[in-house]
Chain A
């Protein structure tokens, strides 16, 4: 019997009898994906990235914090210093990403929701964006930082004493008299944890449904 395309994507359904007999086997992947969804949703409200700038005349340091949708901290003061070297205002960075960040994360959560209902290998496609999200976030941040750091206004007051620079996206660096310390925020850590949980969920997903898929194909 040939299956419809949708049927093949959704994959085999589990009989009630089978479900009650092997509850743990079938519930585990769904439960893990649920945890991943919760982690991602919670991360929405938490900072993804911090940078602390340390210099003698700022005994309390300067702070920069990125959420998926906003930049906060001493933005005005950092901008005010950056204008000397001709760096564009931070607010101009990643405007699109920040405007859609929340929706993208919600979309990822919905995709994970669907993935829990799909019992075929197609589920992998639905969860991969969520798995890679933390890495994409950091990559995007790095690209913006290097874009800003390498496109300084040549007419800025101190432009002739400066060459383009890229502060490290994680870890410590030096920009002028400022030591920069960049650390992941708790939101990013939760999102990364979600990635790990999803990979573990995939393992259990395969163990639960692959035999069913194989059995179906064998008929």
Chain B
């Protein structure tokens, strides 16, 4: 007995390390009257209790859906569970992130891919994540996200939730119409936003119409390699209309894509010279243009070589696009935000922020108008403009400031209303009409949200088979919803239960987001994701997703001094030690440090933090990493494991001894 007790002390300390608090079970008898008493004490209504019952996720219970949310200024992606609305983790993308070691020893090469003109641009403005799709449905394998500020696109592997690639658009400076994927993820679409001359080369703004360009880029995704293949990608030149959100057709409209624009006025601003400011100049016309692009035809044109190489990148010029009949315009309510294709691909919903309607275009009517040349004229760049009345199926008055639309499984559509601070539920017509008790094309209900909603997300609500059930309102302002954290307040993600028909769609949870301002997010059924719990083999390099033959292994730990003055370190990490623990080098040495976490246990992550050298790595079980630095600062530097891994975690330490040379 005695000996068991003593060992118990030792190993119980280990238990502290990864302590998974087992939910405390009730000691005494509980009854519903206890719930009523507490509800009374805390001022909770029956609706509040019901909302709690719908969302409360006790310890160990898993979420049914997973949100991949843009992280806004954080340059990251947030992974959030539904209905619990718990932040599960962030994924570092465009911005260094110390917990993941991103930019401090791991991921440095990928961050460098995002440098612009060799300049470290280390913040990102992530807007629109896009999950990879197969036959128009999320397949849970890849995630793409754009960076609006520098027109970059990143690829994230959903096996390990890590960024694998950042690609900089060579033509445009900023993007907003991305990322969106074609139904089988053939292409990742990135639409440029604020027009600039190609590659942002200088041209005075008085040359706006002639020299400034709009564009949409079709990044070819190589699923096997898990990378965008720049050599098989191309762009299409568009007028400098400030293209906005885009969406790929699906179902009957597969092969097409639809792109909004917000500045068909070609406004160039200049309030300081008494010119109309952009906000007025770009909102002057009653309508802007919805771009209708036959991307399959564009792909053929590109493949046949009818492109111009601009900034080293193949571009189908506006002239070619018009001549080949792959680009058409049609008027849309001015200053639109969302363009969203209905699940079967037959309707395209556009909302003009300054018009209380959603406008629904019929893809069939668009095809007919193109075939019959039902044009109302040409724009000033010579693109044929389809007659508005002949392509519109319906308009539904939903409220003030409609922005984005998502779809349910049953014939309902949902539109965010920025000015009304509400989410509208309305009915689709056509073949969707049977699904709802209300008549076609009518507003059913508006649920107020707090406040100023931007995008909304419905579970799988932009796929060919939306799930409904949950809607999340990604609100820009929270005003009075939370404890005031100084003048900078969090955003508010509000969860709505949309599983019932009609007017029943209450808000059931508020989640503050205090790390950047997210824009769009997609919501995928959790069981479609199949992430690794540990890396498949020891010595795994997440950048290549393969075993690194150079990875340090057990019993092969060593420090090698090369003839050229390079010191190569081969280190392993396991609870609770590094091996080797002494690194003796000389000032000025070039250090190539390789380290493998040789653990196989789930969650047995180790860190490697080196003081004064700005280094910190996160090494998940099996992961190997390599980083290099010049040991220019002499001294004694205790490096340690920066991820609490075990009872003897504090003792997981080593000494880097840099001997001065003079």
* B4 CB–A CB distance under 8 Å: yes
Contact of B7 among A77, A85, A157 (CB under 8 A): A85
* B556 CB–A CB distance under 8 Å: no
Nearest Cβ in chain B — how far from A78, in angstroms? 10
Chain B residue nearest to A152 (CB atoms) is B7
- Give Cα A177 to B8, complex, Å: 6
* B119 CB–A CB distance under 8 Å: no
**Would you give the 0/1 interface string for A52-96, flagging 1 where the beta carbon is closer than 8 Å to chain B?**
000111010000000000000010110011001100000000000
- Whether B15 pairs with A57 at a CB distance below 8 angstroms is yes
> Within residues 447 to 461 of chain B, which ones have a CB less than 8 A from any CB in chain A?
none
Nearest Cβ in chain A — how far from B368, in angstroms? 59
* B10 CB–A CB distance under 8 Å: yes
- Whether B575 pairs with A56 at a CB distance below 8 angstroms is no
Interface residues on B, range: 20 to 34
Chain B residue nearest to A164 (CB atoms) is B3
Interface residue count for A (Cβ, 8 Å)? Answer: 23
* A204 CB–B CB distance under 8 Å: no
**Would you give the 0/1 interface string for A173-198, flagging 1 where the beta carbon is closer than 8 Å to chain B?**
01111100000000000000000000
- Whether B3 pairs with A57 at a CB distance below 8 angstroms is no
Using A76-B600, A163-B2, A176-B14 as known contacts, say yes or no to A56 and B7 having CB atoms under 8 A apart.
no
* B11 CB–A CB distance under 8 Å: yes
Stretch at the interface among B16-24, B356-364, B500-508: B16-24
**Would you give the 0/1 interface string for A136-175, flagging 1 where the beta carbon is closer than 8 Å to chain B?**
0000000000000000000001100111110000000011
Residues of chain B within 8 A (CB-CB) of A163 are 2-3, 6-7
* B303 CB–A CB distance under 8 Å: no
- Give Cα A161 to B6, complex, Å: 6
Residues of chain B within 8 A (CB-CB) of A55 are 15
- Whether B574 pairs with A80 at a CB distance below 8 angstroms is yes
Chain A residue nearest to B60 (CB atoms) is A59
Contact of B10 among A57, A59, A76, A176 (CB under 8 A): A176
Residues of chain B within 8 A (CB-CB) of A85 are 7, 10-11
Nearest Cβ in chain B — how far from A45, in angstroms? 25
Chain B residue nearest to A165 (CB atoms) is B3
- Give Cα A132 to B204, complex, Å: 96
> Within residues 102 to 153 of chain A, which ones have a CB less than 8 A from any CB in chain B?
none
Contact of B9 among A56, A157, A161, A174 (CB under 8 A): A161
Contact of B14 among A76, A84, A164 (CB under 8 A): A84
Residues of chain A within 8 A (CB-CB) of B648 are 84, 157-158
- Whether A175 pairs with B15 at a CB distance below 8 angstroms is no
Nearest Cβ in chain B — how far from A59, in angstroms? 6
Residues of chain A within 8 A (CB-CB) of B4 are 165, 174-175
- Whether B8 pairs with A57 at a CB distance below 8 angstroms is no
- Whether A80 pairs with B8 at a CB distance below 8 angstroms is no
* B108 CB–A CB distance under 8 Å: no
Nearest Cβ in chain B — how far from A57, in angstroms? 4
Residues of chain B within 8 A (CB-CB) of A176 are 7-8, 10-12, 14
Nearest Cβ in chain A — how far from B216, in angstroms? 48
* B420 CB–A CB distance under 8 Å: no
Nearest Cβ in chain A — how far from B62, in angstroms? 12
- Whether A57 pairs with B18 at a CB distance below 8 angstroms is yes
Chain A residue nearest to B648 (CB atoms) is A157
Residues of chain A within 8 A (CB-CB) of B3 are 162-165
Chain A residue nearest to B554 (CB atoms) is A76
Residues of chain A within 8 A (CB-CB) of B647 are 84, 158
Nearest Cβ in chain A — how far from B611, in angstroms? 24
- Give Cα A143 to B6, complex, Å: 23
- Whether B19 pairs with A174 at a CB distance below 8 angstroms is no
Excluding A57-B19, A165-B3, A174-B8, 16 further A-B contacts by CB distance (< 8 Å) are A56-B19, A57-B17, A57-B18, A77-B600, A80-B601, A81-B14, A84-B11, A84-B575, A85-B11, A157-B648, A158-B11, A158-B648, A161-B7, A162-B10, A164-B3, A177-B11
List of 8 A-B pairs having minimum Cβ-Cβ separation, nearest first: A176-B11, A163-B3, A161-B10, A57-B18, A158-B10, A177-B15, A162-B7, A77-B601
A-B contact pairs, 21 of them (CB 8 A): A55-B15, A56-B15, A56-B19, A56-B20, A57-B17, A57-B20, A59-B60, A74-B600, A77-B600, A84-B14, A84-B576, A157-B648, A158-B10, A158-B11, A165-B4, A165-B7, A174-B4, A174-B8, A176-B14, A177-B8, A177-B12
| A residues at B contact (CB < 8 Å) | 55-57, 59, 74, 76-77, 80-81, 84-85, 157-158, 161-165, 174-178
